[in-house]
Amino acid sequence: MGECNLDHSLEDVLRKLESQKDFLPEQVGERMRQFLKNERTQQTLNELFHLLKKYDLVSEEEREERNEKLIKLTS
């Protein structure tokens, strides 16, 4: 994933999560929804957004890598 200089708001992340919910494992999506109920740093929001970005278009192997990163980030 390339670097992005844009800051993504909580609303951006929640919209992206919603748009990818049919492709994410249910437990990962639920974990993220719970995690986002509390205030998060801008860096964390940006990381979450980019892990979700085009999630539906990546290979199964890439999805597994992203899932691991999402779980680690929301732990």
User: 32 in a domain, yes or no?
Assistant: yes
Helix (H/G/I), strand (E/B), else coil: 21: coil
Res. 1: pLDDT tops 60: no
- pLDDT for 5 equals 74
**pTM summary value:** 0.90
Total domains, the chain: 1
Share of the chain above pLDDT 90, in %: 92
Q: Which structural domain range is residue 49 located in?
A: 10-73
Alpha carbon 44 to chain centroid, angstroms: 9
Res. 71: pLDDT tops 80: yes
User: 4 in a domain, yes or no?
Assistant: no
Q: Taking residues 50-69, what's their average pLDDT? A: 97
Res. 39: pLDDT tops 90: yes
User: What phi-psi label fits residue 41: left (phi over 0), alpha (psi between -120 and 50 degrees) or beta?
Assistant: beta
